[in-house]
A and B are shown apart, each in its own frame.
Chain A
Amino acid sequence: MAYTEEELKKELEQQEYQYGFTTEIESETFPVGLNKDIVRKISEKKNEPKWMTDWRLSAFEAWEKMEEPEWPNVKYKKPQFQEISYYSAPKTKAKYDSLDEVDPELLKTFDKLGISIDEQKKLAGVAVDIVMDSVSVATTFKETLSKKGIIFCSISEAIQEHPDLVKKYLGTVVPKKDNFYAALNSAVFSDGSFCYIPKGVKCPMELSTYFRINQAGTGQFERTLVIADEGSYVSYLEGCTAPSRDENQLHAAVVELVALDNAEIKYSTVQNWYPGNKHGKGGVFNFVTKRGICHENSKISWTQVETGSAVTWKYPSCILKGNNSIGEFYSIAVTNNYQQADTGTKMIHLGKNTKSTIISKGISAGKSQNSYRGLVRISNNAENSRNFSQCDSLLMGNNCGAHTFPYIEAKNKTAQIEHEATTSKIGEDQIFYCNQRGIDTEKAIALIVNGFSKEVLNKLPMEFAVEAQKLLEISLEGSVG
């Protein structure tokens, strides 16, 4: 019997967020609320030097004066900042020397998430730093990396052991007063990853961070700092999941990338935060500031697959400061049910002969709203700069929306900018063609969506691409146009 749309819909409704479990781990959580004392306490907890505490406090002061931005094309109930706990850590020994010491409950969690630390260590050759409820719990492959001089650890560890590097680069790309959420993060970030690739070193493996929100009533505020010194190369992966809860959880991260002369950073994200249930209840608010700075001849490439979160508000950007630098942005944003996404990129061309490419694919289904918001700015001195942008949106069903807000500012007459955008739906003829060849409707949609997203999926590292492809299929199951 033919597979009908109704059946598809039913199946979709039954399709649960498979990472929605919680883990029973004793954790230490700060009382709710935010004030100077809490900021001090976080800093104290982490045993931080005074300069770091002062840095946090000044960010907090700035944050107090700021207002939550309202310009994004999303609607949500604003988080009550005084009702969130700003620190939550699995209550175990402060640090692990080997995996054997890790709480078995924790290990189970990671097994469920599909990140078997052991296995990955052996087979995939991916070094993983795992951040649960804002605290880094395990970092693998540290030794192998340190032989090459690569530092890959949690940011709290870096503050202790490599204060010079942290002091030099922290807040240089995303200043602590950059925006409301960046300031909040600067004040209260509890952990995150730190990575330094020394001069001329090509990082032999993919570095990866896995973020997980576990505790209820907490916000996750992690901070990532990646520095690629002259002539180095690194590929960095980030994955995220959260348990299904009825209340909204806040995730406000800051990611800073520094690519010094001739360096290259490839940053890939597969974001799969809990998107809320099919009635739009619960889900993670994902308000993230990601930015990279490119020095001469360097390159930063952002690749993101956004399938989760109730509300996403994220613009991974590149400041092309050095001459001949290159910025790239490849994104797939999928929204279903009541999800809302306002995402895109900023390419700020400052140096001469700078190039940027933006490929953004938005797929909206259910009752979701998906917006692309991007900025391409060619400044006075950016001679011979080049930009190519392409934003395509795919609509499935007539209760969703797809929006495009590209800002293009050219101040140099040698600039060359091309921008194109299309909005369309999956054609009945396309599906018919597939049906004709014995491919059922659901598979046909998966096939078409896959083709639509191919340009971006191709940019992901192999292990991630497979995961991303699966995620796409799951997120869109049953949303026949």
Chain B
Amino acid sequence: MSLKEKMVSSFLAFELDTNINSPVHDIRSESIKDFEKIGFPGKKNEYWKYTPINKVLNDKLTVFKKKRHLIEFEKVKDFFVNGIESYKIVFIDGAYDPLWSNTTHKGVDICILSAILENKKYEGLINKYYNTITDKNESFSLLNSSFSKEGAFVHIPKNMELDKPIEIIHINSGGESSLMLQPRSLIILEKNSKAQILESHYSLVGENNKSPYSYPGFIDPLTNTLTEIHVEENANLDYYKIQNDLETTSLIDNTYINQKRDSEVSCHTFSFGGNIVRNNLNFYQNGENINSIMKGITILGGNQHTDHHTLVHHANPNCESYQEYKGIYNDNSTGVFNGRVLVDKIAQKINAFQQNNNLLVGEKSSVNTKPQLEIFADDVKCSHGCTIGQLDDSALFYLKTRGISEKEAKGLLTYAFANNVLENVKMQALKTKIKKIIANKIGVNLGFEL
């Protein structure tokens, strides 16, 4: 039985286990029907051209988890951002873990999706927002809509500036083979509200950088996550993603962001590892004077692969979008950047900028990039730039003449290359954490205060 057939038949068993009176039941059954029609992306699919996703679509993958794993705090404490107060929603292998979570319903809802889906009080919100902006022709989004029942739910009411950041943490314990996880988050920012959200994906690490419970024939988990974000008028969201998985775990991250007038969303994606990591980041601008910012740093090694697909749909006039992605590729790692900017005919006075810079360090590293502009309006300013190259020899030489060792000089230059993406990170503690990860990844002690 192929994985597609298996998924479709699994749905019957899945349905038995869920409440069929739930408002999302129709969405689930329609999604699986649509998925059955299109299946997984084939080899000739243009949107998956450079990412061999079939490599991780093992027939043995299953959406049913058998057991529950408890993890000691020691092992996960580094996954949190140190030194800050925050709301926390923690998932272990896709299941909510109340032990380290810190949720609230006091004036603001920061909790889990499963609780909301079954609660009459939230039915209005679910009908208004749930699964309204996802791509109904995208295999993995459909699959997630069919099987998801757990994830984070955030609802910030009107005129509220959230006091602390929210950390949404997904941890793979690696305690079970062949898991395909389907976490789903719904984030709603009402008018004039403001929030900071950090979403991260980690795996527990055992010996040789493998899963701690790995055995021969062990199939590492594939996470297929979907996040829907609705940002209402004049709201402001600062959103961060950290993807720092094992070299064996894979992640497909679909994010859909719907912005209303005068709103601003900035999304930073820090990709530091994973077997295959695919980010589909989609921005829809439904109103005037909207600003969308996408930034990312990718540092890979080994045989890792990361793919950033971004889409900004400028449907209204007087909006802006800004994209800046930096990639550093060591060893045999490969990277993909596909940025798509779509400007509708009525969307005049758009200012769209797209930049992708890549450093090829590893002998067998490679980069495929495709910054794409589709423009139907004439009074716009759109530009994109893309470079692939190496560290500047003269800069390296300059540092060496100042008595800095080659390794350190390279580290400094690489760090500098990535640094300006970090400039807009407003959460200071997070900035420090990322800087530490980068320094660690580059393998040098930068020798200055982080």
- B-binding residues in A (CB < 8 A): 71, 378, 380, 393, 395-425, 481
Contacts and interface: CB of A to CB of B under 8 A. Distances in A.
Contact of A423 (B50, B367, B375): B375
Contacts of B368: 407-410
A72 to B, nearest CB: 12
11 contacts: A398-B378, A404-B372, A410-B368, A410-B388, A413-B363, A415-B388, A419-B384, A420-B386, A421-B385, A423-B373, A423-B383
Given A409-B366, A424-B380, A71 B389 contact: no
A399 B372 contact: no
B360 A406 contact: no
B390 interface: yes
Given A409-B366, A413-B390, A404 B384 contact: yes
Contacts of A417: 386-389
A481 B377 CA distance: 11
B328 to A, nearest CB: 11
A425 B378 contact: yes
Contacts of A408: 367-370, 386, 388
Contact of A420 (B361, B380, B384): B384
B207 interface: no
B5 interface: no
B365 A418 contact: no
Given A398-B377, A408-B369, A422 B388 contact: no
Given A415-B388, A420-B386, A399 B345 contact: yes
Contacts of A416: 387-390
Contacts of A419: 371, 384-387
Contact of A398 (B348, B363, B370): B348
B374 interface: yes
B359 to A, nearest CB: 9
Contacts of B362: 413
A400 B378 contact: yes
B17 interface: no
Nearest to B385: A420
Contacts of B380: 395, 423-425
A309 B10 CA distance: 53
Given A398-B345, A422-B383, 13 more contacts: A71-B46, A393-B373, A403-B373, A406-B370, A406-B371, A406-B386, A408-B370, A410-B366, A411-B366, A413-B390, A415-B360, A422-B382, A424-B381
Interface in B123-158: none
A405 B374 CA distance: 8
Contacts of B360: 410, 412-415
Contacts of A378: 388
B395 to A, nearest CB: 15
Interface of B: 46, 50, 345, 348, 358, 360-390
A397 B348 CA distance: 11
A344 B361 CA distance: 30
Contacts of A398: 345, 348, 376-379
Given A408-B369, A421-B383, A423-B383, A415 B389 contact: yes
Contacts of A424: 380-382
A395 B383 contact: no
Contacts of A425: 378-380
Contacts of B369: 408-409
Given A407-B370, A413-B362, A413-B365, A402 B384 contact: no
Nearest to B346: A398
Contacts of B375: 393, 395, 401-403, 423
A409 B358 CA distance: 11
A395 B347 CA distance: 14
Contacts of A405: 370, 372
B366 A423 contact: no
B387 A418 contact: yes
B228 to A, nearest CB: 28
Contacts of B367: 408-410
A380 B385 CA distance: 24
Given A409-B366, A415-B360, A421 B389 contact: no
B287 to A, nearest CB: 20
Contacts of B363: 413
Nearest to A416: B389
A44 B358 CA distance: 56
Nearest to A398: B378
A64 B197 CA distance: 56
A410 B360 CA distance: 9
Given A410-B358, A410-B388, A421 B378 contact: no
B142 to A, nearest CB: 24
A447 B181 CA distance: 60
A395 B389 contact: no
A420 B50 CA distance: 21
Contacts of A481: 378-379
Contacts of B379: 398, 425, 481
Nearest to B365: A413
A422 B387 CA distance: 15
Nearest to A389: B386
Given A71-B46, A398-B378, A402-B375, A421 B365 contact: no
A395 B385 contact: no
A411 to B, nearest CB: 4
A433 B164 CA distance: 53
Contacts of B387: 416-419
A380 B374 CA distance: 31
B388 A397 contact: no
Given A408-B370, A418-B386, A423-B383, A413 B376 contact: no
Nearest to B354: A421
Contacts of B366: 409-412
Contacts of B381: 423-424
A349 B389 CA distance: 15
B373 A404 contact: yes
A423 B348 contact: no
Contact of A395 (B374, B378, B390): B378
A186 B6 CA distance: 46
A377 to B, nearest CB: 9
Contacts of B361: 413
Nearest to A399: B345
A420 B372 contact: no
A398 B378 CA distance: 5
Given A413-B361, A413-B363, A396 B378 contact: yes
A415 B364 CA distance: 12
B382 A423 contact: yes
Contacts of A415: 360, 388-389
Contacts of B382: 422-424
A393 B373 CA distance: 10
B20 to A, nearest CB: 41
Nearest to B372: A405
A350 B348 CA distance: 42
B301 to A, nearest CB: 13
A401 B376 contact: yes
Nearest to B50: A409
A418 B389 CA distance: 8
B383 A420 contact: yes
A382 to B, nearest CB: 12
A403 B374 contact: yes
A74 to B, nearest CB: 13
Contacts of B345: 398-399
B374 A401 contact: yes
A356 to B, nearest CB: 13
